[in-house]
Each structure stands twice: as structure tokens, then as C-alpha cells.
Amino acid sequence: MRAFATRYTGPPTLRGWMRDPQSITSLQVLVVILALVPGAALATLGMGLIDTLTPSERVPAVVTARDSGLDEEGIEYHETTALADDGRGLGLGTGAPGLLGAPVVVTLSTVTGELVAVRTASDHYRPHRTGAYVFLVVVLLATIVIAALIARRMANLAPWTLLVIAVVVGFVGAGGWQVASTAAVAPTSRLPAGTGMSIYTNPKFMPASRSPTGQDVDFRDATLRVTGPVTSGAPAGSASWLSDFHVMVVPFSASYRGTSGDRYVPLTLIGDGSGTAERVAAEHCGPTGFDGRVPAGSVEGVMCFVTPPDFQPRHIIVGTGETKRIDLTT
């Protein structure tokens, strides 16, 4: 022990390394490089907290691209891009829901510009609350804890000033990269004005059977009728998040001649617009919400659709395959 004490002169210093660079070992270089990791972990966790806890803005948009590909493990992913109503192009990453043309409301952090959430007519995606993100947080916390436990020994292998610099560089580098890779991207192209008509822009798909508003339409053992004009705006008592969308409301009455269960009638709103009309579940459309499910007997209610701002309703398509249409312009 006495011999060791005479040889040990304390932890290396930055000045000593500069005077004698040949004394630096590969293990010491590795220790300095590893010091970047806890700094990057702190930055990643901090950005997640900032995005989640700071004020945010809700931006109505329409999905304009769904680019598919395969990741390194051969799993298919979809890179989603949306065009905001104010003209901004938004990159929503690979986990965001929404089909091509679907209206969405994108929540962005006002501090970092990062994606906080994407809401569609039927889904609410929050990247900071996915299983993958929770796993990442656990890994980052473990990294910080392990780094703290071995910090003293690391300081005996490399100059503490250089270790602190490495931690700061890791923190600034990871934080800066995340701030630079915000949800804002180069403006994306607007979808054609006929997108809202879907396949029905082609006359061969348009149902030959046509009924005006106010007339009964039979579908199997159910009868439906659009009882009035289409109106705009979320109805009273609807889900609060619906007010962030452009909403069109179609009043319906329906009856079902069966005696058990109910009858589901597929109903699709089509029209002119640079995006599609997406149906909202009945429970989100107010106390009289209707989504095509007709109980035995009769029911009256309203059907909610979220649409792009330029959408002009034309028809309700009743059914799939063998279809009929209700003309909303008459």
C-alpha cells in the first residue's frame, strides 16, 4: 500500500494531459466519450418534459402524404405529412394516425415546436405516452443513475473538467438536434379539390339510385332519411375536442324493422374539397349523436363529420358494394 501511495499522484488533470498527451490511454479516451451519454440523456428527458408541460398550440390540418417504408428490422412504417390550414407543412413522424386526406388537429409545443399530439376523428396519438417512449425514458433514467454511480471512479481516470465539458457537449448537442428537428417542415402540396369525392369522381362508381333530402331510403331492413340541410359547427353537448375541427352535421331519422340487436348502415359523406369527411363516433357527437347504428324501432339524431375547411357536401353514400346515394344539394 505504501508503494502504491508513492506512485499515485491523484486523478489526471487537463493541464497534465496537454503537457504529456502520450500518457493518455484508450480507456481514458473512452471514459470521456461515454461522458457524452448522460448529458444527451438529460437533454432528451428535459425536452420531453418541456413539450408535455409547457403551453401548446392546436393546428387544424389535413394529411397530405403517407410515405411507406421498412425500418432496419423490416417493419413497415408510414411517414405522415400534413398541410395546416394556415399553410404550414407539418411532419408528423411515423406513429401518427390519419389516412390520406383525413382532417387532423396537430398539437405543437410553443417552446420547441415539437409534436405533442395528433387527434383524428377516431384516434388521439401522443408520442410521449406510447409504450416505446416509456421504454426510452426508463433507459435514459437508468443511464443517468449508472453514470452517477460510477462518476467518482470516472473522475479518477480522466480530468473532471474534461468530463464536465463532455456532459455539457452531450446535453447541448442532443438538445440542439431535437430543437432543430421540429414538426415544422417545408410546405407540402395541397391535395386536389376532388379528394373529398373519393372514388366517386369516377362516374362508374357513383350509385345510380339517387334520393333527395327528405326522402326515405331503404337499406336491407332499415329505412333512413336526411331530414334537413347540412350545418356547420360542433353540436351542443358534443366532445370538447371537436370544437378544434371543422365540423359538418347531417340530421338523420332512421328505423329498423328487425326485432333483435340493431342494424349498422355504412354512411359516407362525400363532396368537393381538398380532403375527406371523416365520421365521428356517436358518443362524441352530442346527446343525439348518430353514426349509422339503428336500434330496433326508430331513432332521430345528427351525424358529425370532421372535414377540411373548403369541403362542400354533395352526397351521402349509403352502404358498401351495392350502394345508394342521398343528394344533399336538393
pLDDT in tens, 85-105: 989 999 888 888 888 999 999
The whole-number pLDDT of residue 275 equals 95
**3-state SS, one letter per residue, for the chain:** CHHHHHHCCCCCCHHHHHHCHHHCCHHHHHHHHHCHHHHHHHHHHHHHHHHHHCCEEEEEEEEEEEEEEECCCCCEEEEEEEEECCCCEEEEECCCCCCCCCEEEEEEECCCCCEEEEECCCCEECHHHCHHHHHHHHHHHHHHHHHHHHHHHHHHHCCHHHHHHHHHHHHHHHHHHHHHCCCEECCCCCCCCCHHHHHHHCCCCCCCCEEECCCCEEECCEEEEECCCCEECCCCCCCHHHHHCEEEEEEEEEEECCCCCEEECCEEEEEECCCCCEECCHHHCCCCECCCEEECEEEEEEEEEEECCCCEEEEEEECCCCCEEEECCC
Question: Minimal CA–CA distance to 254: which of 269, 266, 242?
Answer: 266
pLDDT in tens, 202-260: 988 999 888 999 999 998 888 999 999 999 999 999 999 999 999 999 999 999 887 76
The residue-averaged pLDDT of 144-157 equals: 71
Question: Minimal CA–CA distance to 109: which of 52, 186, 62?
Answer: 52
The whole-number pLDDT of residue 18 equals 67
Asked whether residue 283 carries a pLDDT value surpassing 90, the answer given is yes
Q: What is the pTM of this model?
A: 0.77
For residue 19, the number of C-alpha atoms closer than 13 Å in the C-beta half-sphere is: 5
- Confidence band of 5 (pLDDT split at 50, 70, 90): very low
Share the mean pLDDT of the chain.
Answer: 83
Which of 116-130, 142-156, 173-187 shows the highest mean pLDDT? 116-130
The residue-averaged pLDDT of 16-41 equals: 73
